[in-house]
């Protein structure tokens, strides 16, 4: 997948605009009042967010144009459902929506094929399980089903697994008063969780809001591990100035995040 591709679906990604938070809030208010021009401006101003999300899927071998279009659908759904009263940044709300839309697309376009012979074994196994349950008033083991069919236990397990419908992480497993709990809410993945990834995107977006000197100081201090004195010597200012720039940059980033 060409994640560095400049033109995607006829859109020159190098020329995409970036909206400030206040601009986004003003546009959202206009969108809620039915302003289609504001809606179009808002979508264009958030296409970089879609690009950030589809990078998560750059090892799937999927066509980047297809993923971008699906991501845009997720973005539009996020715009339509975003509630201004919740005091949440739009990107925080939109990223899971975009991810969910792409994952549903990947799931629905999965080309897994189950052979006819496996299906036959599975359906026979289901019939035997139902009959033995009626006769013995308890569910039979895989070994008992395999014995009835005179086949290997492993073949029964493989056949039954093959006919199971894939489950999406966004399938609801419980719903109470309109608040659904999804499969992904019950699964923990510390290494690649969406929560961690969303935080990384939020951090990246916050850094973009800083001026060039603030970004330089943070890069030297936290990515290259230099002391304030070393930073001061490198860029030609005092250590006290480095300290003030650093504190101000971190303060601004906390506001954005």
Tell me the percentage of the chain whose pLDDT exceeds 70: 74
**Which two structure tokens, joined as six digits, stand for 239?**
């250590």
Q: Does the predicted model carry a pTM greater than 0.85? A: no
Give the containing element (helix H, strand E) for 180. Answer: strand 179-182
Q: Length of the chain, please?
A: 257
All structural domains of the chain, each given as residue ranges with its CATH number in brackets, are: 7-108 (1.20.120.1810), 116-162 (1.10.10.10), 209-256 (1.10.10.10)
Average pLDDT for residues 25-35, to the nearest whole number? 90
Work out the mean pLDDT of the chain and round it to a whole number: 78
Name the band, by pLDDT with cuts 50, 70 and 90, for residue 2. Answer: very low
Average pLDDT for residues 12-36, to the nearest whole number? 84
Give the separation between CA 218 and CA 221, rounded to whole angstroms. Answer: 5
Average pLDDT for residues 6-29, to the nearest whole number? 77
Average pLDDT for residues 197-215, to the nearest whole number? 76
Q: Is the dihedral of CA 72, 74, 79, 85 positive or negative?
A: negative
pLDDT for the residue numbered 162: 73
**Which DSSP state fits 165?**
P
Let me know: does 42 contact 28? Beta carbons within 8 Å: yes
pLDDT digits 0-9 by tens, 41-51? 999 888 888 88
- Give yes or no for residue 164 having a pLDDT over 80: no
Give the DSSP per-residue string, 128-194. HHHHHHHHHSSPPPHHHHHHHHTS-HHHHHHHHHHTSPP--TTSEEEEETTEEEEGGGG---TTT-H
- Give yes or no for residue 1 having a pLDDT over 50: no
Give the separation between CA 129 and CA 84, rounded to whole angstroms. Answer: 53
């Amino acid at each position: 997948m060409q994640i560095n591709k400049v033109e995607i679906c006829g859109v020159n990604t190098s020329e995409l605009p970036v909206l400030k938070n206040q601009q986004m809030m003003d546009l959202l208010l206009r969108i809620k009042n039915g302003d289609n021009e504001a809606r179009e401006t808002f979508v264009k101003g958030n296409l970089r967010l879609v690009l950030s999300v589809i990078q998560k899927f750059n090892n799937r071998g999927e066509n980047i144009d297809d993923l971008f279009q699906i991501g845009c659908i997720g973005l539009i759904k996020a715009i339509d459902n975003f509630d201004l009263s919740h005091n949440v940044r739009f990107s925080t709300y939109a990223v899971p929506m975009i991810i969910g839309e792409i994952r549903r697309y990947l799931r629905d376009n999965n080309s897994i094929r189950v052979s006819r012979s496996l299906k036959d074994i599975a359906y026979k196994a289901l019939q035997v399980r139902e009959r033995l349950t009626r006769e013995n008033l308890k569910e039979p083991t895989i070994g008992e089903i395999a014995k009835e069919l005179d086949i290997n236990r492993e073949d029964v397990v493989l056949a039954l697994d093959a006919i199971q419908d894939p489950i999406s992480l966004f399938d609801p497993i419980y719903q109470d008063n309109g608040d659904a709990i999804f499969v992904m809410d019950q699964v923990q993945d510390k290494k690649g969780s969406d929560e961690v990834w969303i935080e990384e995107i939020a951090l990246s977006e916050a850094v973009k809001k800083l001026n060039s000197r603030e970004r330089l100081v943070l890069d030297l201090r936290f990515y290259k591990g230099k002391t304030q004195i070393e930073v001061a010597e490198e860029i030609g200012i005092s250590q006290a100035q480095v300290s003030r720039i650093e504190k101000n940059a971190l303060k601004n980033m906390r506001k954005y995040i």
